[in-house]
Structure 1
Amino acid sequence: MCDYNWWAKLDEAGAYFVTRLKTNAAVEVVRHIKPTEHENTGETVLADEYIRFTHRKNSSRPNRCHGKILRRITVSRQGKEPLVLVSNKLGVTAQEIVGTYKARWQIELLFKWLKQHLQLKRFLGRSANAVKLQILCAMIAYLLLKLYQQNGRTDQSLHLLCTRIAGSLFERPQTLYARYARRRRERLELARM
Protein backbone atom coordinates (compact mmCIF):
# COMPACT_ATOMS: atom_id res chain seq x y z
CA MET A 1 0.00 0.00 0.00
CA CYS A 2 1.51 3.31 -1.04
CA ASP A 3 -0.33 5.87 1.08
CA TYR A 4 2.29 8.59 1.34
CA ASN A 5 0.28 10.61 3.86
CA TRP A 6 0.09 7.59 6.16
CA TRP A 7 3.86 7.19 5.82
CA ALA A 8 4.24 10.83 6.89
CA LYS A 9 2.02 10.20 9.95
CA LEU A 10 4.15 7.21 10.93
CA ASP A 11 7.32 9.26 10.53
CA GLU A 12 5.93 12.14 12.61
CA ALA A 13 4.92 9.68 15.34
CA GLY A 14 8.52 8.44 15.55
CA ALA A 15 7.76 5.02 14.02
CA TYR A 16 9.53 3.57 11.04
CA PHE A 17 8.19 1.72 8.03
CA VAL A 18 9.62 -0.63 5.43
CA THR A 19 7.45 -1.33 2.42
CA ARG A 20 7.52 -1.65 -1.35
CA LEU A 21 7.65 1.39 -3.58
CA LYS A 22 5.53 1.75 -6.70
CA THR A 23 7.48 1.56 -9.92
CA ASN A 24 5.92 4.78 -11.21
CA ALA A 25 6.61 6.84 -8.05
CA ALA A 26 7.92 10.28 -8.94
CA VAL A 27 11.14 10.58 -6.94
CA GLU A 28 14.50 12.22 -7.32
CA VAL A 29 17.71 10.65 -6.06
CA VAL A 30 19.42 12.84 -3.47
CA ARG A 31 22.46 10.63 -2.86
CA HIS A 32 23.76 7.19 -3.87
CA ILE A 33 25.34 4.84 -1.35
CA LYS A 34 27.70 2.22 -2.73
CA PRO A 35 26.22 -1.24 -2.19
CA THR A 36 29.71 -2.51 -1.37
CA GLU A 37 29.58 -0.57 1.91
CA HIS A 38 27.12 -3.14 3.27
CA GLU A 39 27.82 -6.71 4.22
CA ASN A 40 26.04 -9.17 1.94
CA THR A 41 24.46 -12.02 3.87
CA GLY A 42 21.99 -13.39 1.36
CA GLU A 43 20.37 -11.03 -1.08
CA THR A 44 22.45 -8.78 -3.26
CA VAL A 45 21.77 -5.09 -2.79
CA LEU A 46 21.74 -3.60 -6.27
CA ALA A 47 21.13 0.02 -5.26
CA ASP A 48 20.94 1.98 -2.03
CA GLU A 49 19.81 5.57 -2.37
CA TYR A 50 18.41 8.53 -0.49
CA ILE A 51 15.36 9.82 -2.33
CA ARG A 52 12.74 12.55 -2.13
CA PHE A 53 9.27 12.76 -3.73
CA THR A 54 9.01 15.36 -6.47
CA HIS A 55 5.24 15.86 -6.62
CA ARG A 56 3.53 18.03 -4.02
CA LYS A 57 0.17 16.34 -4.72
CA ASN A 58 -1.02 12.80 -5.39
CA SER A 59 -4.21 12.97 -7.45
CA SER A 60 -6.14 15.65 -5.57
CA ARG A 61 -4.60 15.20 -2.12
CA PRO A 62 -1.43 16.90 -0.92
CA ASN A 63 1.59 14.64 -0.56
CA ARG A 64 2.77 15.08 3.04
CA CYS A 65 5.91 13.06 2.27
CA HIS A 66 7.04 15.71 -0.20
CA GLY A 67 10.45 16.99 0.85
CA LYS A 68 11.13 14.17 3.35
CA ILE A 69 14.26 12.16 2.75
CA LEU A 70 13.60 8.41 2.46
CA ARG A 71 15.75 5.42 1.69
CA ARG A 72 15.20 3.34 -1.47
CA ILE A 73 16.87 -0.06 -1.64
CA THR A 74 16.78 -2.36 -4.66
CA VAL A 75 17.42 -6.02 -3.88
CA SER A 76 17.94 -8.83 -6.40
CA ARG A 77 15.97 -12.04 -5.99
CA GLN A 78 16.61 -15.37 -7.66
CA GLY A 79 14.23 -16.02 -10.52
CA LYS A 80 12.18 -12.88 -9.85
CA GLU A 81 12.31 -9.20 -10.61
CA PRO A 82 14.27 -7.03 -8.19
CA LEU A 83 12.46 -5.89 -5.07
CA VAL A 84 12.33 -2.12 -4.50
CA LEU A 85 11.89 -1.17 -0.84
CA VAL A 86 11.43 2.23 0.73
CA SER A 87 11.98 3.14 4.37
CA ASN A 88 12.37 6.09 6.66
CA LYS A 89 15.15 4.31 8.60
CA LEU A 90 18.11 6.32 7.43
CA GLY A 91 20.90 5.36 9.81
CA VAL A 92 20.98 1.58 9.34
CA THR A 93 22.47 -0.73 6.74
CA ALA A 94 20.56 -1.91 3.72
CA GLN A 95 20.72 -5.49 5.02
CA GLU A 96 18.94 -4.45 8.22
CA ILE A 97 16.14 -2.91 6.18
CA VAL A 98 15.86 -6.05 4.06
CA GLY A 99 15.81 -8.14 7.26
CA THR A 100 13.02 -5.97 8.67
CA TYR A 101 11.00 -6.53 5.50
CA LYS A 102 11.51 -10.30 5.83
CA ALA A 103 10.37 -10.21 9.46
CA ARG A 104 7.25 -8.35 8.35
CA TRP A 105 6.42 -11.29 6.08
CA GLN A 106 6.63 -13.68 9.02
CA ILE A 107 3.93 -11.62 10.75
CA GLU A 108 1.81 -11.77 7.58
CA LEU A 109 2.19 -15.57 7.50
CA LEU A 110 1.15 -15.82 11.16
CA PHE A 111 -2.06 -13.89 10.54
CA LYS A 112 -2.74 -15.94 7.40
CA TRP A 113 -2.47 -19.13 9.50
CA LEU A 114 -4.70 -17.67 12.21
CA LYS A 115 -7.35 -16.73 9.67
CA GLN A 116 -7.28 -20.12 7.95
CA HIS A 117 -7.13 -22.45 10.92
CA LEU A 118 -8.55 -20.62 13.94
CA GLN A 119 -11.67 -19.16 12.34
CA LEU A 120 -10.50 -15.55 12.41
CA LYS A 121 -12.24 -14.73 9.14
CA ARG A 122 -15.17 -12.88 10.70
CA PHE A 123 -15.25 -10.83 13.85
CA LEU A 124 -18.01 -11.48 16.36
CA GLY A 125 -18.18 -7.85 17.48
CA ARG A 126 -17.62 -4.51 15.83
CA SER A 127 -16.03 -2.51 18.61
CA ALA A 128 -12.27 -2.15 18.81
CA ASN A 129 -12.24 -4.05 22.10
CA ALA A 130 -14.18 -7.00 20.62
CA VAL A 131 -11.82 -7.25 17.65
CA LYS A 132 -8.74 -7.08 19.89
CA LEU A 133 -10.13 -9.75 22.21
CA GLN A 134 -10.86 -12.11 19.35
CA ILE A 135 -7.37 -11.62 17.88
CA LEU A 136 -5.78 -12.14 21.30
CA CYS A 137 -7.78 -15.34 21.86
CA ALA A 138 -6.65 -16.69 18.49
CA MET A 139 -3.02 -15.79 19.27
CA ILE A 140 -3.23 -17.47 22.69
CA ALA A 141 -4.66 -20.61 21.06
CA TYR A 142 -1.83 -20.54 18.50
CA LEU A 143 0.81 -20.17 21.22
CA LEU A 144 -0.67 -23.03 23.25
CA LEU A 145 -0.64 -25.28 20.19
CA LYS A 146 2.94 -24.25 19.40
CA LEU A 147 4.08 -24.92 22.99
CA TYR A 148 2.40 -28.32 22.97
CA GLN A 149 4.13 -29.14 19.68
CA GLN A 150 7.55 -27.85 20.77
CA ASN A 151 7.57 -29.71 24.07
CA GLY A 152 7.83 -32.91 22.07
CA ARG A 153 4.37 -34.17 22.88
CA THR A 154 3.60 -34.56 19.20
CA ASP A 155 5.38 -34.41 15.87
CA GLN A 156 2.23 -33.46 13.95
CA SER A 157 1.96 -30.20 12.06
CA LEU A 158 0.07 -27.38 13.72
CA HIS A 159 -2.76 -27.81 11.24
CA LEU A 160 -3.22 -31.51 12.05
CA LEU A 161 -2.91 -30.84 15.76
CA CYS A 162 -5.54 -28.09 15.56
CA THR A 163 -7.87 -30.37 13.58
CA ARG A 164 -7.42 -33.25 16.02
CA ILE A 165 -8.17 -31.05 19.02
CA ALA A 166 -11.19 -29.44 17.35
CA GLY A 167 -12.55 -32.86 16.45
CA SER A 168 -12.06 -34.33 19.90
CA LEU A 169 -13.42 -31.44 21.98
CA PHE A 170 -16.97 -32.80 21.97
CA GLU A 171 -16.12 -36.49 22.13
CA ARG A 172 -16.51 -38.43 25.33
CA PRO A 173 -13.11 -39.65 26.56
CA GLN A 174 -12.68 -43.41 26.30
CA THR A 175 -12.27 -43.88 30.05
CA LEU A 176 -15.58 -42.18 30.84
CA TYR A 177 -17.27 -44.13 28.09
CA ALA A 178 -15.88 -47.42 29.39
CA ARG A 179 -17.10 -46.59 32.92
CA TYR A 180 -20.53 -45.67 31.55
CA ALA A 181 -20.76 -48.92 29.56
CA ARG A 182 -19.71 -51.02 32.59
CA ARG A 183 -22.34 -49.39 34.84
CA ARG A 184 -25.00 -49.93 32.19
CA ARG A 185 -24.08 -53.62 31.92
CA GLU A 186 -24.22 -53.95 35.70
CA ARG A 187 -27.67 -52.31 35.78
CA LEU A 188 -28.93 -54.63 33.04
CA GLU A 189 -27.60 -57.68 34.91
CA LEU A 190 -29.29 -56.53 38.13
CA ALA A 191 -32.55 -55.98 36.25
CA ARG A 192 -32.40 -59.54 34.83
CA MET A 193 -32.05 -61.10 38.27
Structure 2
Amino acid sequence: MPYTIDPFCKQQKIPTFHELFSPVQNIFHSVPPLESKGNRPLQMNFEQQLKALIYYHLEEHSSGRDLLQELQEDDFARTEIAPPDGIKKSSFFEAINHRGIEQLLFIFTKLQADATKVLPKEYEHLGELVSIDGSFIDAVLSMHWADYRKGAKKAKAHLGFNLNHSIPSKIYLTDGKGDERPFVNKILSPGQTGIMDRYYQCHKDFDLWQTEGKHFVCRIKENTNKSVIKTNPLKPGSIVFYDALVLLGTPQVNQTEKPVRLIGYWIDAKEYWVATDRHDLTAEDIASLYKLRWNIEIFFGWWKRHLKVYHLIARSQHGLMVQILAGLITYLLLAIYCHNNFKEKVSIKRVRELRIKINNEARNLNFSPFGNYNFKEHAKNYDHAKT
Protein backbone atom coordinates (compact mmCIF):
# COMPACT_ATOMS: atom_id res chain seq x y z
CA MET A 1 0.00 0.00 0.00
CA PRO A 2 1.54 3.38 -0.98
CA TYR A 3 2.41 5.77 1.84
CA THR A 4 0.00 8.69 2.29
CA ILE A 5 0.59 11.84 4.28
CA ASP A 6 -1.65 12.34 7.26
CA PRO A 7 -3.05 15.90 7.23
CA PHE A 8 -1.75 16.44 10.78
CA CYS A 9 1.77 15.42 9.68
CA LYS A 10 1.79 18.42 7.34
CA GLN A 11 1.86 20.63 10.39
CA GLN A 12 5.24 19.18 11.41
CA LYS A 13 7.65 21.31 9.40
CA ILE A 14 11.07 20.21 8.21
CA PRO A 15 13.11 22.39 10.63
CA THR A 16 16.27 22.79 8.53
CA PHE A 17 14.42 23.93 5.39
CA HIS A 18 12.38 26.39 7.40
CA GLU A 19 15.50 27.66 9.16
CA LEU A 20 16.99 28.32 5.72
CA PHE A 21 13.79 30.01 4.56
CA SER A 22 13.07 32.00 7.75
CA PRO A 23 14.89 35.24 6.74
CA VAL A 24 12.46 35.49 3.81
CA GLN A 25 9.49 34.57 5.99
CA ASN A 26 10.23 37.65 8.09
CA ILE A 27 9.89 39.89 5.01
CA PHE A 28 6.62 38.52 3.61
CA HIS A 29 4.38 40.87 5.60
CA SER A 30 5.59 43.84 3.54
CA VAL A 31 5.87 42.23 0.08
CA PRO A 32 3.65 43.83 -2.61
CA PRO A 33 0.64 41.55 -3.22
CA LEU A 34 0.76 39.14 -6.14
CA GLU A 35 -2.46 39.37 -8.13
CA SER A 36 -3.95 37.33 -10.94
CA LYS A 37 -3.90 39.13 -14.27
CA GLY A 38 -7.01 37.37 -15.51
CA ASN A 39 -10.35 36.11 -14.30
CA ARG A 40 -8.93 32.85 -12.93
CA PRO A 41 -7.67 32.78 -9.33
CA LEU A 42 -3.98 32.11 -8.72
CA GLN A 43 -3.09 28.42 -8.54
CA MET A 44 0.29 29.28 -7.00
CA ASN A 45 0.72 32.19 -4.60
CA PHE A 46 4.00 34.09 -4.31
CA GLU A 47 5.30 32.17 -1.29
CA GLN A 48 4.71 28.87 -3.09
CA GLN A 49 6.36 30.22 -6.25
CA LEU A 50 9.42 31.38 -4.32
CA LYS A 51 9.72 28.14 -2.34
CA ALA A 52 9.52 26.12 -5.57
CA LEU A 53 12.29 28.19 -7.16
CA ILE A 54 14.52 28.01 -4.07
CA TYR A 55 13.97 24.25 -4.00
CA TYR A 56 14.87 24.12 -7.71
CA HIS A 57 18.25 25.78 -7.11
CA LEU A 58 18.97 24.06 -3.81
CA GLU A 59 18.44 20.58 -5.24
CA GLU A 60 20.34 21.33 -8.49
CA HIS A 61 17.44 20.57 -10.79
CA SER A 62 18.25 20.99 -14.47
CA SER A 63 14.80 21.75 -15.93
CA GLY A 64 11.30 22.91 -15.04
CA ARG A 65 9.94 19.47 -15.92
CA ASP A 66 12.33 17.89 -13.41
CA LEU A 67 11.11 20.25 -10.70
CA LEU A 68 7.44 19.66 -11.54
CA GLN A 69 7.90 15.90 -11.29
CA GLU A 70 9.33 16.27 -7.78
CA LEU A 71 6.52 18.62 -6.77
CA GLN A 72 4.08 15.90 -7.81
CA GLU A 73 5.86 12.74 -6.63
CA ASP A 74 8.26 13.59 -3.79
CA ASP A 75 6.52 13.61 -0.39
CA PHE A 76 8.50 16.53 1.01
CA ALA A 77 8.20 18.67 -2.13
CA ARG A 78 4.50 17.86 -2.51
CA THR A 79 3.56 18.75 1.07
CA GLU A 80 6.03 21.52 1.96
CA ILE A 81 6.76 23.23 -1.38
CA ALA A 82 3.89 22.74 -3.84
CA PRO A 83 0.42 24.31 -3.46
CA PRO A 84 -2.00 22.11 -1.43
CA ASP A 85 -3.90 21.07 -4.58
CA GLY A 86 -0.73 20.59 -6.64
CA ILE A 87 0.33 22.62 -9.65
CA LYS A 88 -0.25 21.92 -13.32
CA LYS A 89 2.50 22.37 -15.89
CA SER A 90 0.65 25.17 -17.70
CA SER A 91 -0.06 27.07 -14.47
CA PHE A 92 3.54 26.71 -13.28
CA PHE A 93 5.10 28.07 -16.46
CA GLU A 94 2.47 30.80 -16.72
CA ALA A 95 3.45 31.95 -13.22
CA ILE A 96 7.19 31.90 -14.02
CA ASN A 97 6.80 33.76 -17.32
CA HIS A 98 4.32 36.42 -16.27
CA ARG A 99 4.37 37.04 -12.50
CA GLY A 100 6.62 37.68 -9.55
CA ILE A 101 9.40 40.07 -10.68
CA GLU A 102 8.21 42.97 -8.50
CA GLN A 103 7.91 40.70 -5.46
CA LEU A 104 11.24 38.94 -6.09
CA LEU A 105 13.07 42.26 -6.51
CA PHE A 106 11.54 43.43 -3.23
CA ILE A 107 12.64 40.24 -1.43
CA PHE A 108 16.13 40.36 -2.97
CA THR A 109 16.68 44.01 -2.02
CA LYS A 110 15.43 43.56 1.55
CA LEU A 111 17.27 40.28 2.06
CA GLN A 112 20.52 41.72 0.72
CA ALA A 113 20.23 44.64 3.17
CA ASP A 114 19.46 42.25 6.04
CA ALA A 115 22.41 40.01 5.10
CA THR A 116 24.85 42.93 5.31
CA LYS A 117 23.79 43.43 8.94
CA VAL A 118 24.41 39.76 9.79
CA LEU A 119 27.51 38.83 7.79
CA PRO A 120 30.98 39.99 8.89
CA LYS A 121 32.69 42.85 7.03
CA GLU A 122 35.92 41.47 5.63
CA TYR A 123 37.60 44.60 4.22
CA GLU A 124 36.13 47.34 6.40
CA HIS A 125 39.42 49.29 6.42
CA LEU A 126 39.22 49.62 2.62
CA GLY A 127 35.66 50.99 2.50
CA GLU A 128 32.48 49.76 0.78
CA LEU A 129 33.70 47.64 -2.14
CA VAL A 130 31.58 46.51 -5.10
CA SER A 131 32.95 44.40 -7.94
CA ILE A 132 31.03 44.97 -11.19
CA ASP A 133 30.93 42.62 -14.17
CA GLY A 134 28.69 41.00 -16.76
CA SER A 135 28.05 37.33 -17.43
CA PHE A 136 26.70 35.72 -20.60
CA ILE A 137 23.78 33.29 -20.43
CA ASP A 138 23.44 30.86 -23.32
CA ALA A 139 19.98 31.13 -24.87
CA VAL A 140 18.10 29.14 -27.50
CA LEU A 141 17.23 30.42 -30.98
CA SER A 142 13.55 30.76 -30.07
CA MET A 143 14.50 33.45 -27.52
CA HIS A 144 14.24 36.23 -30.12
CA TRP A 145 14.76 38.99 -27.56
CA ALA A 146 18.22 37.63 -26.59
CA ASP A 147 20.05 39.25 -29.50
CA TYR A 148 23.75 38.47 -29.82
CA ARG A 149 24.92 37.46 -33.30
CA LYS A 150 23.74 35.46 -36.29
CA GLY A 151 23.15 31.84 -35.33
CA ALA A 152 23.60 32.49 -31.61
CA LYS A 153 21.40 33.87 -28.87
CA LYS A 154 22.68 35.07 -25.50
CA ALA A 155 21.42 37.12 -22.60
CA LYS A 156 23.66 39.04 -20.23
CA ALA A 157 23.41 39.52 -16.47
CA HIS A 158 24.99 42.72 -15.11
CA LEU A 159 25.90 42.16 -11.47
CA GLY A 160 27.21 44.13 -8.54
CA PHE A 161 28.98 41.95 -5.96
CA ASN A 162 29.49 43.21 -2.40
CA LEU A 163 33.10 42.23 -1.66
CA ASN A 164 32.97 43.03 2.05
CA HIS A 165 30.20 40.50 2.67
CA SER A 166 30.77 38.23 -0.39
CA ILE A 167 27.17 38.50 -1.59
CA PRO A 168 25.42 39.88 -4.72
CA SER A 169 24.04 43.37 -4.34
CA LYS A 170 22.31 44.42 -7.60
CA ILE A 171 21.30 42.71 -10.85
CA TYR A 172 20.15 43.80 -14.31
CA LEU A 173 19.39 41.74 -17.41
CA THR A 174 19.81 42.61 -21.11
CA ASP A 175 20.32 40.82 -24.39
CA GLY A 176 23.84 39.59 -25.15
CA LYS A 177 24.78 42.80 -26.98
CA GLY A 178 23.89 44.96 -23.98
CA ASP A 179 26.69 47.39 -23.11
CA GLU A 180 27.98 46.84 -19.58
CA ARG A 181 29.31 50.33 -18.84
CA PRO A 182 25.96 52.16 -18.40
CA PHE A 183 25.08 49.79 -15.55
CA VAL A 184 27.93 51.01 -13.33
CA ASN A 185 25.90 54.12 -12.46
CA LYS A 186 22.89 51.95 -11.56
CA ILE A 187 24.91 49.50 -9.47
CA LEU A 188 27.28 51.88 -7.68
CA SER A 189 26.13 54.25 -4.92
CA PRO A 190 27.93 57.38 -3.69
CA GLY A 191 30.68 56.49 -1.22
CA GLN A 192 31.16 52.99 -2.63
CA THR A 193 34.22 51.91 -4.63
CA GLY A 194 33.52 50.04 -7.86
CA ILE A 195 36.19 47.58 -8.97
CA MET A 196 36.17 46.87 -12.71
CA ASP A 197 38.11 45.31 -15.56
CA ARG A 198 39.48 47.08 -18.67
CA TYR A 199 36.19 46.92 -20.55
CA TYR A 200 34.74 49.58 -18.20
CA GLN A 201 37.44 52.14 -19.05
CA CYS A 202 35.63 55.33 -20.10
CA HIS A 203 37.19 58.73 -19.43
CA LYS A 204 33.85 60.54 -19.38
CA ASP A 205 32.65 58.07 -16.76
CA PHE A 206 35.79 58.64 -14.67
CA ASP A 207 34.86 62.34 -14.57
CA LEU A 208 31.18 61.64 -13.89
CA TRP A 209 31.85 59.19 -11.05
CA GLN A 210 34.13 61.67 -9.29
CA THR A 211 31.47 64.37 -9.62
CA GLU A 212 28.88 62.02 -8.10
CA GLY A 213 31.14 60.86 -5.27
CA LYS A 214 31.39 57.32 -6.61
CA HIS A 215 34.87 55.86 -6.24
CA PHE A 216 36.49 53.47 -8.70
CA VAL A 217 39.43 51.14 -9.22
CA CYS A 218 39.47 50.31 -12.92
CA ARG A 219 42.12 48.56 -14.95
CA ILE A 220 42.99 50.47 -18.16
CA LYS A 221 44.72 49.64 -21.43
CA GLU A 222 48.50 49.82 -21.28
CA ASN A 223 48.77 52.14 -24.30
CA THR A 224 46.40 54.78 -22.87
CA ASN A 225 47.84 58.30 -23.23
CA LYS A 226 48.65 59.98 -19.94
CA SER A 227 49.69 63.53 -19.07
CA VAL A 228 51.53 63.56 -15.76
CA ILE A 229 50.60 66.22 -13.23
CA LYS A 230 52.51 64.89 -10.23
CA THR A 231 54.40 61.71 -9.37
CA ASN A 232 54.20 60.02 -5.98
CA PRO A 233 57.15 58.37 -4.21
CA LEU A 234 57.51 54.59 -4.57
CA LYS A 235 58.25 52.08 -1.85
CA PRO A 236 61.56 50.20 -2.35
CA GLY A 237 61.09 46.53 -3.23
CA SER A 238 57.38 46.98 -3.97
CA ILE A 239 55.54 45.40 -6.89
CA VAL A 240 54.44 48.96 -7.74
CA PHE A 241 56.62 50.70 -10.35
CA TYR A 242 54.41 53.71 -11.11
CA ASP A 243 52.23 56.03 -8.99
CA ALA A 244 51.19 59.43 -10.36
CA LEU A 245 48.38 61.96 -10.69
CA VAL A 246 47.54 62.17 -14.41
CA LEU A 247 45.05 63.17 -17.05
CA LEU A 248 44.11 60.16 -19.18
CA GLY A 249 43.49 60.23 -22.93
CA THR A 250 44.29 62.50 -25.85
CA PRO A 251 43.80 66.29 -25.39
CA GLN A 252 40.80 67.71 -27.28
CA VAL A 253 39.65 64.14 -28.05
CA ASN A 254 38.91 61.98 -25.01
CA GLN A 255 41.05 63.36 -22.19
CA THR A 256 39.67 63.34 -18.65
CA GLU A 257 38.73 66.73 -17.24
CA LYS A 258 39.48 65.61 -13.70
CA PRO A 259 42.86 64.09 -12.80
CA VAL A 260 42.99 60.47 -11.68
CA ARG A 261 45.58 58.49 -9.81
CA LEU A 262 47.34 55.92 -11.99
CA ILE A 263 49.06 52.89 -10.48
CA GLY A 264 51.35 50.51 -12.41
CA TYR A 265 52.52 47.23 -10.91
CA TRP A 266 53.84 43.79 -11.81
CA ILE A 267 52.30 40.42 -10.98
CA ASP A 268 54.29 37.41 -12.25
CA ALA A 269 56.08 39.59 -14.82
CA LYS A 270 52.74 40.91 -16.15
CA GLU A 271 52.06 44.65 -16.09
CA TYR A 272 48.82 46.03 -14.70
CA TRP A 273 47.71 49.66 -15.02
CA VAL A 274 44.89 50.75 -12.71
CA ALA A 275 43.12 54.12 -12.58
CA THR A 276 41.47 55.27 -9.36
CA ASP A 277 40.26 58.29 -7.43
CA ARG A 278 41.25 56.72 -4.09
CA HIS A 279 44.08 58.89 -2.74
CA ASP A 280 43.62 57.70 0.84
CA LEU A 281 45.19 54.27 0.20
CA THR A 282 48.72 53.17 -0.57
CA ALA A 283 49.59 52.05 -4.08
CA GLU A 284 49.93 48.50 -2.71
CA ASP A 285 46.40 48.72 -1.30
CA ILE A 286 45.10 49.70 -4.75
CA ALA A 287 46.84 46.68 -6.29
CA SER A 288 45.25 44.47 -3.63
CA LEU A 289 41.84 46.02 -4.29
CA TYR A 290 42.00 45.19 -7.97
CA LYS A 291 42.95 41.60 -7.16
CA LEU A 292 39.67 41.32 -5.21
CA ARG A 293 37.80 41.82 -8.49
CA TRP A 294 38.30 38.11 -9.21
CA ASN A 295 35.88 37.29 -6.38
CA ILE A 296 32.98 38.10 -8.69
CA GLU A 297 34.34 35.64 -11.27
CA ILE A 298 34.56 32.98 -8.57
CA PHE A 299 30.98 33.74 -7.56
CA PHE A 300 29.69 33.48 -11.15
CA GLY A 301 31.42 30.12 -11.61
CA TRP A 302 30.18 28.67 -8.29
CA TRP A 303 26.66 29.99 -8.78
CA LYS A 304 26.33 28.52 -12.27
CA ARG A 305 27.91 25.16 -11.41
CA HIS A 306 26.30 24.35 -8.07
CA LEU A 307 22.89 26.09 -8.17
CA LYS A 308 22.21 25.42 -11.87
CA VAL A 309 21.07 29.02 -12.28
CA TYR A 310 21.58 29.08 -16.04
CA HIS A 311 19.64 25.85 -16.76
CA LEU A 312 16.70 27.71 -18.22
CA ILE A 313 13.19 27.18 -16.89
CA ALA A 314 11.66 29.86 -19.10
CA ARG A 315 12.38 31.41 -22.48
CA SER A 316 10.96 34.90 -21.94
CA GLN A 317 13.01 37.78 -20.59
CA HIS A 318 10.56 38.01 -17.68
CA GLY A 319 10.92 34.31 -16.89
CA LEU A 320 14.72 34.42 -17.05
CA MET A 321 14.81 37.40 -14.69
CA VAL A 322 12.50 35.52 -12.29
CA GLN A 323 14.87 32.56 -12.33
CA ILE A 324 17.99 34.69 -11.81
CA LEU A 325 16.45 36.65 -8.93
CA ALA A 326 15.39 33.40 -7.27
CA GLY A 327 18.93 32.07 -7.68
CA LEU A 328 20.37 35.18 -6.03
CA ILE A 329 17.85 34.93 -3.18
CA THR A 330 18.83 31.28 -2.70
CA TYR A 331 22.49 32.29 -2.48
CA LEU A 332 21.73 35.01 0.10
CA LEU A 333 19.79 32.51 2.21
CA LEU A 334 22.71 30.06 2.00
CA ALA A 335 25.14 32.83 3.03
CA ILE A 336 23.07 33.66 6.13
CA TYR A 337 22.58 29.97 6.97
CA CYS A 338 26.30 29.11 6.65
CA HIS A 339 27.29 32.09 8.78
CA ASN A 340 24.71 31.42 11.50
CA ASN A 341 25.54 27.72 11.78
CA PHE A 342 29.26 27.50 10.90
CA LYS A 343 30.65 31.07 10.84
CA GLU A 344 31.74 30.30 7.29
CA LYS A 345 31.12 31.54 3.76
CA VAL A 346 28.99 29.52 1.37
CA SER A 347 30.67 26.31 0.20
CA ILE A 348 29.46 23.27 -1.71
CA LYS A 349 30.39 21.14 1.31
CA ARG A 350 27.91 23.01 3.53
CA VAL A 351 25.25 23.07 0.80
CA ARG A 352 25.51 19.28 0.41
CA GLU A 353 25.26 18.87 4.17
CA LEU A 354 22.15 21.06 4.12
CA ARG A 355 20.53 18.98 1.36
CA ILE A 356 21.28 15.73 3.18
CA LYS A 357 19.94 17.10 6.47
CA ILE A 358 16.68 18.25 4.82
CA ASN A 359 16.27 14.89 3.08
CA ASN A 360 16.95 12.99 6.32
CA GLU A 361 14.40 15.06 8.23
CA ALA A 362 11.82 14.56 5.50
CA ARG A 363 12.49 10.82 5.47
CA ASN A 364 12.14 10.56 9.26
CA LEU A 365 8.90 12.51 9.22
CA ASN A 366 7.27 10.85 6.23
CA PHE A 367 8.53 7.28 6.19
CA SER A 368 9.65 6.24 9.65
CA PRO A 369 6.94 4.35 11.58
CA PHE A 370 7.98 6.29 14.68
CA GLY A 371 10.62 8.97 13.99
CA ASN A 372 9.75 12.19 15.82
CA TYR A 373 6.03 11.63 15.43
CA ASN A 374 4.01 12.48 18.52
CA PHE A 375 1.22 9.87 18.63
CA LYS A 376 -0.44 11.38 21.70
CA GLU A 377 -0.60 14.78 20.08
CA HIS A 378 -1.94 13.20 16.89
CA ALA A 379 -4.67 11.35 18.76
CA LYS A 380 -5.68 14.52 20.55
CA ASN A 381 -5.82 16.45 17.26
CA TYR A 382 -7.76 13.62 15.61
CA ASP A 383 -10.37 13.51 18.40
CA HIS A 384 -10.66 17.29 18.31
CA ALA A 385 -11.17 17.22 14.52
CA LYS A 386 -13.97 14.61 14.81
CA THR A 387 -15.85 16.78 17.28
**TM class, shorter-length:** 0.5 to 0.7
Q: Determine the C-alpha separation between the residues in 1 that align with 2:259 and 2:280.
A: 12
Q: 2:263 aligns with which of 60, 73, 80?
A: 73
Q: Determine the C-alpha separation between the residues in 2 that align with 1:117 and 1:85.
A: 33
Correspondence 1:18 to 2:217: yes
Amino acid at match of 2:245: Y
Residue correspondence of structure 1 range 29-44 to structure 2 within 5 A: 29-36=228-235, 44=239
Structure 1 residue runs without a partner (length 5+): 152-156, 182-193
Between 1:161-170 and 1:44-53, the stretch displaced more is: 161-170
Q: Determine the C-alpha separation between the residues in 2 that align with 1:146 and 1:115.
A: 21
Q: Determine the C-alpha separation between the residues in 1 that align with 2:204 and 2:359.
A: 50
The CA deviation at 1:134 is 4.9
Q: 1:88 to 1:126 in 2, by over 3 A?
A: farther
The CA deviation at 1:133 is 6.3
Number of aligned pairs?
A: 165
Correspondence 1:159 to 2:355: no
Q: Determine the C-alpha separation between the residues in 2 that align with 1:177 and 1:85.
A: 60
Q: Which has the larger radius of gyration?
A: 1
Q: 2:342 aligns with which of 114, 124, 149?
A: 149
The CA deviation at 1:173 is 1.9
Bigger relative CO (Cα 8 Å, ≥ 6 apart): 2
TM-score where L is the length of structure 1 = 0.65
Q: Determine the C-alpha separation between the residues in 2 that align with 1:33 and 1:163.
A: 50
TM-score where L is the length of structure 2 = 0.36
- Aligned partners of 1:30 and 1:50 also within 8 Å: yes
RMSD: 3.6
Residue correspondence of structure 1 range 10-159 to structure 2 within 5 A: 10-36=209-235, 44-55=239-250, 63=254, 66-77=256-267, 79-121=268-310, 126=318, 134-150=327-343, 158-159=347-348
Q: Determine the C-alpha separation between the residues in 2 that align with 1:159 and 1:55.
A: 48
Amino acid at match of 1:23: E
SS at match of 1:72: strand
- Aligned partners of 2:203 and 2:249 also within 8 Å: no
Correspondence 1:9 to 2:187: no
Structure 2 residue runs without a partner (length 5+): 1-198, 372-387
The CA deviation at 1:71 is 0.9
Amino acid at match of 1:35: L
- Aligned partners of 2:265 and 2:272 also within 8 Å: yes
SS at match of 1:89: coil
Q: Deviations over 1:117-164 (max 9, x none)?
A: 23343697749x95666534422223313443338xxxxx82133235
Amino acid at match of 2:338: L
